Chain A
């Protein structure tokens, strides 16, 4: 499998300004050093509680936010990626590095480069009521990316719009209506059509099913898998609903306070979670089976503020197996075998010995 997307130590901090001169007094470390790879034509699940930085990560990948540091490689040759990462450590000021990054590192893209990149990357938002312009007809909503990107105009654009509408399971009667005339599920289909009309390779799905009902949710999930097969899409599926992620994703990453704590193949994560946070998170999901009732609460307390994350391992104040080292040293994301990456001192010390 080849990589489509690779992130290397990506950081995005939001400034908190204060004082008379509005100087930066602190920062919210929304994404704080994330490295991961997304393979071609897979569905990569990103899971975490609210405020852990999953949406920020998604938007930073699309370059809707400018990252503070780190690199994003999209569809770049692997040897180039390796060279850039090597040069960054060894010789961060070299001219070669700068030239390579300008060409391949999405984090440094500007202007025209960015615009042509967005043709290949798209996003579907959580709430279609707010993500669709209420004053645009459905045909204009969907055709907008085509005109902005200069892909098609007029009749040609209309043909493409009708084609994609049919693919997402809606009739062309929808063309001359406004978004508010549709139900939540249909609106989400329009949002999907809009994302897919420019034929992107990579789509970020930011909680696309959390605002719809159970029965509609199943329809949308089926649609996602069908479209993926048909267009050869790569998804990043951001969600806090673990049961959906388990069904749709090939690989899953779990995020906590701006960092990845664990990532592996879906089966591994759900049946053999290694990080104590992942274990608690998976145990918290209510099982739709009254004969398997949970006896105790898996995790107490709440997520700390990302302005002042705890020293060392960010999970240690809530961790049931926290050790001394966890308070001092931040664990690295290491392979615990079978491409199962975990950032936990307890697990890592086991695999080392």
Chain B
């Protein structure tokens, strides 16, 4: 694995054991995502785009199973195989380092909780410590501020007395001396100290039972305030106007574009290093789609995350991605730079796919035949029955995934690898 690849998927195989037979959904997928890039994953319905993305999160639903391959993930200087991780470390990974946006934003928002609650939950799970620390430091700041105010008040009184009444000179005291007495009497509320104590102990030992018990009686106001502030900040970052109001809304009150923004905000709330976007704009209108695409690209640039962008719209890919991977029937058939993919596609399927884009004044060119069933997939190259260049070898052996030009990988017998 080279230095810059953040995720490296090697020979990933996923099978679904259904009543109709074993569906070979992924048949040796090879894919890598570089740091800070947008990789477009293109393909027709049922070709395994979503299964690939779910495998990265280890979220394949039963009866699906990952039967082979590796998913190497690099986090900081560490590197690990996601498939071999424990459930606990996976839970820490999901939503924090790897986040996901789905196609149907409304289906993924809980209708009975407000936007604030749902984004807050993500932040609570992954960034509790940070929020607690913020709460503590804010209470302390407030205490310091209170002391300063009292001091100021006393000083003013002292000055006044000095100037006005010479008789009472006996009673005059220097400001600081009175301070401790006054402060404890007037401003420092013991519950705040109690609160700070609880927060601090929560940070130290988040799982301690006695702390959890005490936390029930504590006033969580500052903590909640801190959380709300963070939610609003996250909502603002995805260009939601009037974020305070939107935060208190329920999902049904949001339009499709707004709901998608909320979902993006949720995914980005923990600054993920990898964002998986599974057809995030398919159900949106073109003008809103343009806004969301623009948002994703600007956020990527500001956060420096990598994005795996799954779509079947080649226009969207051309507009926003840096590299493209084309999938067909459970295989990645071609990966290349976006300019290269559109100008010099190599794999026959990629070529056919590009030709099927409707262009005015030209007849529509469709790909003959249909997508093969994955229950009993074709032997050899899975595209050979629809391929116009099919040779004898294509029917027998599966083409290897080779680098034919620097950075341009193809799985096709027509091309030999880079020597």
Q: Which residues of A contact B (CB under 8 A)?
A: 49-50, 183-185, 213-219, 221-222, 240, 242-244, 246-247, 266, 270, 280-281, 284-291, 293-294, 296-300, 302-303
Name the residue of chain A whose CB is nearest to the CB of B369. Answer: A215
CA distance A49 to B44 in the complex (A): 24
Give the residues in chain B near A284, CB-CB below 8 Å.
286-287, 289-290
CA distance A266 to B312 in the complex (A): 26
A257 CB to closest chain B CB (Å) equals 13
Known contacts A294-B319, A297-B290, A298-B290; A247/B358 CB under 8 A: yes
B313 CB to closest chain A CB (Å) equals 7
Chain B 299-325 interface 0/1 with A at a Cβ cutoff of 8 Å (1 = within)? 000000000000011111111000000
10 other A-B residue contacts (CB within 8 Å) besides A214-B312, A294-B290: A185-B370, A214-B353, A214-B356, A240-B285, A270-B360, A285-B315, A286-B319, A288-B314, A290-B339, A294-B319
CA distance A214 to B356 in the complex (A): 7
Tally of contact residues, B, Cβ under 8 A: 41
Query: Is residue B338 contacting chain A, with contact meaning CB distance below 8 A?
Result: yes
Partner of B366, one of A222, A243, A246, A290: A222
Segment 343-386 of B: residues with Cβ below 8 Å from A: 352-354, 356-360, 363-367, 370-371
A212 CB to closest chain B CB (Å) equals 8
CA distance A213 to B313 in the complex (A): 9
Query: Is residue B54 contacting chain A, with contact meaning CB distance below 8 A?
Result: no
What are 23 A-B residue pairs whose CB atoms fall within 8 Å in the complex?
A: A49-B287, A214-B312, A215-B44, A215-B356, A217-B356, A218-B365, A219-B366, A247-B360, A266-B360, A285-B286, A286-B293, A286-B316, A286-B318, A288-B342, A290-B338, A291-B339, A296-B294, A297-B290, A298-B287, A299-B290, A302-B255, A302-B257, A302-B258
A308 CB to closest chain B CB (Å) equals 15
CA distance A218 to B364 in the complex (A): 5
Task: Say yes or no: B315 contacts A243, CB within 8 Å.
Answer: yes
Give the residues in chain B near A184, CB-CB below 8 Å.
45
In the complex, number of A-B residue pairs with CB atoms less than 8 Å apart: 113
CA distance A302 to B288 in the complex (A): 7
Task: Say yes or no: B291 contacts A293, CB within 8 Å.
Answer: no
Give the residues in chain A near B312, CB-CB below 8 Å.
213-214
Name the residue of chain A whose CB is nearest to the CB of B364. Answer: A218
Partner of A297, one of B256, B294, B317, B365: B294
Task: Say yes or no: A222 contacts B363, CB within 8 Å.
Answer: yes
Known contacts A284-B289, A298-B290; A215/B359 CB under 8 A: no
Q: Which residues of B contact A (CB under 8 A)?
A: 44-45, 255-258, 285-291, 293-294, 312-319, 338-339, 342, 352-354, 356-360, 363-367, 370-371
Name the residue of chain B whose CB is nearest to the CB of A299. Answer: B287
Partner of B356, one of A185, A218, A293: A218
Give the residues in chain A near B371, CB-CB below 8 Å.
213
Name the residue of chain B whose CB is nearest to the CB of A291. Answer: B339
Task: Say yes or no: B342 contacts A281, CB within 8 Å.
Answer: no
Task: Say yes or no: B358 contacts A243, CB within 8 Å.
Answer: yes
CA distance A293 to B291 in the complex (A): 14
Query: What secondary structure prevails in chain B residues at the interface with A?
Result: helix
Task: Say yes or no: B291 contacts A288, CB within 8 Å.
Answer: no
Give the residues in chain A near B314, CB-CB below 8 Å.
214, 288
Name the residue of chain A whose CB is nearest to the CB of B354. Answer: A288
CA distance A246 to B313 in the complex (A): 17
CA distance A289 to B291 in the complex (A): 19
Give the residues in chain B near A247, CB-CB below 8 Å.
358-360, 364
B343 CB to closest chain A CB (Å) equals 8
Give the residues in chain A near B370, CB-CB below 8 Å.
183, 185
Give the residues in chain B near A50, CB-CB below 8 Å.
256, 285
CA distance A133 to B359 in the complex (A): 35
Partner of B357, one of A49, A281, A288, A297: A288
Query: Which of A215, A291, A302 has the largest number of chain B CB atoms within 10 A?
Result: A215
Known contacts A49-B285, A242-B286; A221/B293 CB under 8 A: no
B221 CB to closest chain A CB (Å) equals 35
Task: Say yes or no: A287 contacts B358, CB within 8 Å.
Answer: no
Give the residues in chain A near B359, CB-CB below 8 Å.
247
Name the residue of chain A whose CB is nearest to the CB of B365. Answer: A218
CA distance A300 to B365 in the complex (A): 35
CA distance A281 to B289 in the complex (A): 11
Partner of B318, one of A49, A183, A240, A288: A288
Name the residue of chain B whose CB is nearest to the CB of A186. Answer: B370
Give the residues in chain B near A214, CB-CB below 8 Å.
44, 312, 314, 353, 356-357
CA distance A245 to B358 in the complex (A): 10
Task: Say yes or no: A286 contacts B285, CB within 8 Å.
Answer: no
CA distance A242 to B286 in the complex (A): 9
Task: Say yes or no: A300 contacts B291, CB within 8 Å.
Answer: yes
Task: Say yes or no: A221 contacts B364, CB within 8 Å.
Answer: yes
Give the residues in chain B near A280, CB-CB below 8 Å.
287
Query: Which of B342, B352, B356, B363 has the largest number of chain A CB atoms within 10 A?
Result: B356
Task: Say yes or no: B291 contacts A290, CB within 8 Å.
Answer: no
Name the residue of chain A whose CB is nearest to the CB of B258. Answer: A302
Give the residues in chain B near A240, CB-CB below 8 Å.
285-286
Give the residues in chain A near B363, CB-CB below 8 Å.
222
CA distance A219 to B353 in the complex (A): 13
Query: Which of A50, A214, A242, A293 has the largest number of chain B CB atoms within 10 A?
Result: A214
B324 CB to closest chain A CB (Å) equals 9
A306 CB to closest chain B CB (Å) equals 13
CA distance A216 to B44 in the complex (A): 10
B321 CB to closest chain A CB (Å) equals 8
B380 CB to closest chain A CB (Å) equals 21
A207 CB to closest chain B CB (Å) equals 12
Known contacts A215-B356, A297-B291, A300-B291; A222/B286 CB under 8 A: no
Name the residue of chain B whose CB is nearest to the CB of A49. Answer: B285
A252 CB to closest chain B CB (Å) equals 11
Known contacts A243-B315, A286-B318; A216/B342 CB under 8 A: no
Give the residues in chain B near A219, CB-CB below 8 Å.
364, 366
